[in-house]
Structure formats: C-alpha cells, structure tokens
Amino acid sequence: MSELRWGILATGGIAHAFTSDLQTAGLTVSAVGSRSPERAESFARPYGIPRAYGSYEELVADPEVDIVYVATPHPMHADDALLALEAGKHVLVEKAFTLNSSEAARVRERAAERGLVAMEAMWTRYLPHMRRIHEILAAGTLGEIRVVTADHTQRLPRDRAHRINALELGGGALLDLGVYPISFVWDILGAPTRVSASARLGETGADTEVATIFTHDGGALSTTISSSRGAGPNTAAIVGSEARIEIDAIWYTPTDFRVTAADGTVLEAYHSDVAGRGMQFQALYAEQLVREGRLAGDILPIDETVAIMATLDEVRAQIGLRYPGED
C-alpha cells in the first residue's frame, strides 16, 4: 500500500490529539465513527475528514479505511478492536490496551488469525528521545542498570461521574496514568520477577494513587507512582553503575534529558524538537509494519503488551481493584 487510510473510532479528547498529529505528519484520515452522527460530523469538520459515521459498525465497514484507531474507554477496547479486526482492518488501540490480560490475548489471537496488525498506542515508546535513550543503553554508557524510577501524577477532576473515577469505565489512576511508567520500566528492564503494589482508593472504589516496586532480572529495582489527585514532577530516571539518565518533565511526552557520569560530568544533553504532541510516530511505525507485511515490531510487540496487562492484573489483585463485569 502506498497510502494507508485511517479511520478514527470514537471522538473524545485523545482522538482529537491523535488526528491532529496524523495530519501534522501528512497521514490520511478518511473517516470517523461515533455513536452519534452529530458528534461524528462535528469531529470531522475541522479536520476536513470526508466521511463521518453514526456507528462504529459503519466505520469499520468502509472500504476506504485500512487501519482503525480505537479511542473508546478502556472497557470497550477489546470489543471495538475485535469489531475492526473482523472487518479486515488493522488496529491501533489506545492504552491501556484492554481491561485485563485475557482480553488482550483475545485481541492478539484474532489479529494473528486474520493476519492483521494489532498494536497498543503507547505513543511514548516511539518518541525520538526514547529511541535515543535506547541507543545510549545499547552502547553500555550507563554500565549496569541498577534502578529505574518514573511518576505520572496529575490533578484530575474529583467528580464521581468523571471517567477517571468511574469503575464501570475502567477508571482509576492505574490504567489511565500508571500504565505509562509501568510500561516504561518494562521497556528498560524487562518483565518484573517480583511485583509489590500499594494504593489508595477513592470514594467510588477507583484507585487515586498507586505505587509499585518491581524486582527485575539481575536484581535491578524499579519504582513507579501514579496519582489522579495531585500533580507531581512527572520525571523519570535510569540509574546505572557508571552514569544516569534524567528525563525532564513531562517525561512521557517529547522532552529533554541529560546523561550524567558518576563524577557529575554531563556526557550528553538531548533536546527534543517535535511537531505537535508526538503521537504521529506510533502511527508511522504502524504504517511501516503494514507495508512490510509484519504483524509486530520490536519497539512494543503485541506479546509484550499482553504481558504488561498481566502485570497490571497482578497490581490490581494486590490493591483489591476489580472492574464491574470482568471475566
């Protein structure tokens, strides 16, 4: 395919950010679908999207859509991704990929059966500063990695009906915010061999704060903090025996970092220069996979997405958090 055509499934804030970045990168958005024709048309208008559908079923049936971006709330991700896969469309599914690992595995298996790409929209992994960090790690500049830390802390609405506080919508700090630092420590250190988690639950039963301590192969440790009730520094660090990387706020968006040797010498100061929010890089990578006929890449393969969901399942088991209607 010389040009892939995107369909946007759902019309919330994250869908606006993604669509804007797609167009910044010169990619093609050919259709949008909502549960309301009016919302679909309102979304389509400022972006000049040619077709707006009042149902997701109509969107995925559009023969001029090749790949679907799923931007519904967490509990709908699995069903909406499967809907698109059944229609023969590749999918890029917002994080958290699904509610739990069993749902994630279902999406993975169906995508494999249909020979289609199913990819988690963990856009941070594809940003240029993160790719440069991996080059530095591969060069051995930091020595033995000892500790990784990251936080994702925001002051979000306390309204009980707001999505972040609604258990029936998969609300809580973990799936909305904590998935970022947990995916980050997975990216740097691999799967944890031991998981310890603690949390504070809010008035609705949704988690408002979650802290994790993981042990990884070789004994390396990672810590993460997420909160929906207070804005913290939103920084991250990778500490090695020879040097460290400190990623500025907001670490999971296009930002700067420094590599500092153990004696305090700054070895590299990286400056990020990215147009838009930076969500286009994951889309470009998804398009590359499709063009090359590959079902998964090496930045965040679907098997790793499923395994990270299993880690989130373990965190939830330890903090006593279960979503309504879970299998």
Q: How far is 252 from 195, CA to CA, in rounded Å?
A: 22
How would you label 110-139 residue by residue, b for 16+ Cβ within 10 Å and e otherwise?
Answer: bbeebebbbbbbbbbbbbebbebbeebbee
Query: Does residue 160 surpass a pLDDT of 70?
Result: yes
Strand partners, 210: 199, 226
Locate the domains of the chain by residue range: 5-123+279-296, 128-273+309-319
Phi, psi of 244 (to 5 degrees): -135, 155
Q: How far is 147 from 241, CA to CA, in rounded Å?
A: 9
Phi, psi of 314 (to 5 degrees): -65, -40
pLDDT of 150 reads 98
pLDDT of 279 reads 98
Helix or strand or coil: residue 229? strand
Query: Does residue 81 surpass a pLDDT of 70?
Result: yes
pLDDT of 246 reads 98
Domains 5-123+279-296 and 128-273+309-319 fall in the same CATH topology = no
Residue 200, number of CB atoms within 10 A of its CB: 13
Helix (H) or strand (E) holding 79: helix 77-86
The contacts found for 18-21 with CB under 8 angstroms, 24 or more apart, are 18/69, 18/71, 18/121, 18/279, 18/283, 19/43, 19/47, 19/49, 20/47, 20/276, 20/277, 21/276, 21/277, 21/278, 21/279, 21/280, 21/283
Provide the pLDDT confidence category of residue 2 given band limits of 50, 70 and 90.
Answer: low
Instruction: Give the pLDDT mean for 21-35.
Output: 97
Provide the pLDDT confidence category of residue 327 given band limits of 50, 70 and 90.
Answer: low
What are 186-242's pLDDT values in tens digits?
Answer: 999 999 999 999 999 999 999 999 999 999 999 999 999 999 999 999 999 999 999
Query: Does residue 126 surpass a pLDDT of 60?
Result: yes
Token pair of 100 as six digits: 């739990």
Token pair of 25 as six digits: 């990168």
Instruction: Give the pLDDT mean for 20-29.
Output: 96
What are 258-275's pLDDT values in tens digits?
Answer: 999 999 999 999 999 999
Q: How far apart are the first and last CA of the chain?
A: 38
Largest CA distance in the chain: 61
Q: State the fold for domain 128-273+309-319.
A: Dihydrodipicolinate Reductase; domain 2 (3.30.360)
Name the average pLDDT for the chain: 97
* DSSP, res 307: H
CA R_g for the chain: 20
Provide the pLDDT confidence category of residue 303 given band limits of 50, 70 and 90.
Answer: very high
Q: Does domain 5-123+279-296 have CATH number 3.40.50.720?
A: yes
What ranges in 87-127 are assigned the alpha helix state H? 101-114
